[in-house]
Amino acid sequence: MIVPHNSTGQPWRRPMPARDPNEVHRQASFLELFFDLCFVIAVAQAASSLHHALAEEHFAAGILSYLTVFFAIWWAWMNFTWFASSYDNDDVPYRVAAMVQIVGALILAAGVPRAFEIHQFDVVFLGYAVMRVGLVALWLRAAMGDTARRITALRYAGGISAAMIGWAVMLFSGEWPLWGWWLMAAVEMTVPIWAERGGNTPWHPHHIAERYGLFTIIVLGESVLATTLAVQSALGDQGASPALLRIIGGGLLIVFSLWWLYFAKPAQRFLTSNRLAFLWGYGHYFIFASVAAVGAGLAVNVDHVTGHSALSNTAAGAAVTVPVAVYLFVLWMLHIRPHRTGLASALLFLATVAVILVATFSPWPIPIAGLATAALVAISVALSAHLQR
């Protein structure tokens, strides 16, 4: 039986105090894992839409739509993740508010294809509105329970509500200009920065690092699933060809290497301030988006070698090599460089990025990218072992 944290006979009457940022053995809850699982449905929808857009040679529109839709998914996930790190007391009202946000996430996921294909964000907006009802309620409850940070909690509640009004104005005006969309995205990202100036929320470094790591694993899993489904379809049509086997082998090396490199260094060691946390947390947009895009790109390459897409070999290869290169570069900037790993590590990562990008123009871009990332893992492990002697 799971006993809610801080539970009593009438948990709904308890205030919501802040959690201890130095709490030992702080781990992600079962509710948070369930929350992530529901969000990955939206990620899968976005990646699938990107796959079809690229396979049909709608490069600019497909990539732009993917980046905007993925921002909506990532930002909604991140808002709850950081709140939960500071105030998760796991009582009845908290669980209900979290489940309201899960309902909103499922509505958002249902609206992803519509937003992606025809730029209609009405269903996505509805999902956001439902999620924000649950999140604002939690921030208002935190304002009542954590008097020391009441201003911060009220700023979050007010800023989130004001941003939703801005989205509503855009929706009901009948137009979604791209500049307006990114303007509102900038407003959304400004809310936490402004709110935290009223007093830092007590987020837990180890818990935040674990939450981001778990979501990275889930998104990697979605990439594996997308590739598996594409390969399954190809095998049913034509059987295993050498070209298909090269994609499978190279794709597995890439996915395994991306996982290995992400968890090579513990992020909680350098999450020591809001400034660093904002940079690290916001930068993960590119990590999550590129990981999901890798799965879409591998599926595109399966379509290419089985004759279901008229893409050139270079364009198909770029669908994988570009997101892998983005992932490695951002990972080094956010996750590796803060550990002061030295010039050798920096040159190794940058050289690998260059090799992968050049591989785009080769006959076998996926196997070369897979071997390059695997070599990066092997050399990084050897360097780490040498430095520990």
CA dist 301 → 308, 361, 362, 365 (Å): 10, 14, 14, 10
pLDDT of residue 8: 43
pLDDT in tens, 328-367: 999 999 988 887 777 888 899 999 999 999 999 999 999 9
Global confidence as pTM: 0.90
- The C-alpha atoms of residue 119 and residue 64 are separated, in whole angstroms, by 11
pLDDT at residue 65 tops 90: no
Q: Token pair 């937003």 is at which residue?
A: 115
Residues 6+ positions from 333 with CB-CB distance below 8 Å: 283
Asked if pLDDT for residue 6 goes beyond 70, the answer is no
230: helix, strand or coil: helix
- What token pair was written down for 328? 């490695």
Give the distance from CA 383 to its chain's centroid: 29
Res 388: pLDDT: 67
